[in-house]
Structure 1
Amino acid sequence: MPARSSTIVTALTAAALVAVGFLGYQASASAPADLHPPHKGGGDSAGKHPAQPGAGKKEHRPAAPKVPDASGTGKRIVYALGAKRVWLVGENDTAVRTFAVAPSTVSPPMGTYAVTSRSVSVTGSDGIAIEHVVRFASVNGVVIGFSAAVDGSSPNPDASQRTGGIRESRADGAAMWNFAINGTKVVVVA
């Protein structure tokens, strides 16, 4: 009798594994496209599950905002005051990265500047620990520069305080740090 119960247990275990595998397959085939793991095969279907309808179509992503026309040429950082956005522009006049920023209470006048100094980490004028500080201007004694809060927070600047820190995310701050060596051109546009 013990051999027979062992055979039954083995058969039931195999049936359960087949059922779980089948249910897993059904769940993955019906999951939204953004939950599927990237397809490793390349081509037009990258990022799509092979069984997903429309796998041959490219995913629609909104176009990145265009580098402002009046921002010069060559390698530069472009800071658009109105758009609250920064572009890191390579030698070929193509943006290698663009991202939103939280402006400081004191804005630099429109014009062309150069990165004057950098600090790996300091305490900002608002008392927050910041990193990847890239300074490029001074307005009436207020130093203006890009930085990222170590805790990832966005500033909630008090308009009565004169601060010059233009905050970016930590990932964007790291990209800025790697791009903006001393002397790098910074163009501030409307």
Structure 2
Amino acid sequence: MARSSSGFVAGLTAAAVVAVGFLAYQASANAPADLSVKPQRPGKVAPSVSPSGGPKQPVKDPLAVPASSGTGERVVYSLADRRVWLVNGKGKATRTFAVWPSTVDPVPGPYKVTSRSGSVQGSDGVQIEHVVRFATAEDVAIGFSAAVDGSTPSPDPARKTGGIRMKRADGDAMWTFAVIGAKVVVVD
């Protein structure tokens, strides 16, 4: 009987050592690289260190709406970021996503949705859906849309086109959000 109980105790001891080792590994894997950095209050981004040891730039919050985009419920389209934000009446983004613009850009400023089409053929020959038009530039209609086949082709630089493509799920959200008369703000 003594042999079996000593084997049992040895097994429990080995299991405990393995468990403690695993927990120590987990703790070290989640520990910050520099323990001298004080924790930030919730909602603030903690400074981080680059591989070279210098400070990294803080990561930009993807839901942060561009400051120059006005107030109220609106669609915000950033030309430089190639990104759209759907902003509620309280000024908070409810969704943001990347887009693929065509060759003609709208001039920065405020617009209103002027027309919508459920499904049409794009000027590039691709079947598109959830077309939300809001501007005209260089005699080209400009609007958001999603390709039915999910593609995001590069526009032909020799053709003037104004489609701003997005993924189909983002197109669904845009279609629901941006009704006729909805505010669209284009920023640099």
Whether 1:187 aligns to 2:179 is no
Tell me the distance in 2 between the aligned counterparts of 1:92 and 1:116.
24
Whether 1:161 aligns to 2:159 is yes
Give the aligned partner of residue 15 of structure 2. none
Gaps of 5+ in 2: 1-25, 28-58
Tell me the distance in 2 between the aligned counterparts of 1:160 and 1:140.
14
Alignment of 1:78-93 (within 5 A): 78-93=76-91
Q: Deviations over 1:5-44 (max 9, x none)?
A: xxxxxxxxxxxxxxxxxxxxxxxxxxxxxxxxxxxxxxxx
Give the aligned partner of residue 41 of structure 1. none
Tell me the distance in 1 between the aligned counterparts of 2:174 and 2:99.
12
Whether 1:113 aligns to 2:128 is no
Tell me the distance in 2 between the aligned counterparts of 1:83 and 1:103.
11
Q: Deviations over 1:42-81 (max 9, x none)?
A: xxxxxxxxxxx68xxxxxx984241000000000000000
Shift of 1:153: 0.2
What's the secondary structure of 1:157's corresponding residue? coil
Amino acid at match of 1:127: G
Tell me the distance in 2 between the aligned counterparts of 1:155 and 1:143.
18
Pairs aligned (count): 132
Gaps of 5+ in 1: 1-52, 55-60
What's the secondary structure of 1:70's corresponding residue? helix
Tell me the distance in 2 between the aligned counterparts of 1:144 and 1:186.
12
Q: Which stretches of structure 1, 4 residues or longer, exceed 4 Å deviation after superposition? A: none
Tell me the distance in 1 between the aligned counterparts of 2:136 and 2:153.
20
Give the aligned partner of residue 101 of structure 2. 103
What's the secondary structure of 1:188's corresponding residue? strand
Tell me the distance in 2 between the aligned counterparts of 1:88 and 1:96.
6
CA RMSD of aligned residues (A): 1.5
Give the aligned partner of residue 131 of structure 2. 133
TM-score normalised to the size of structure 2? 0.68
Give the aligned partner of residue 11 of structure 1. none
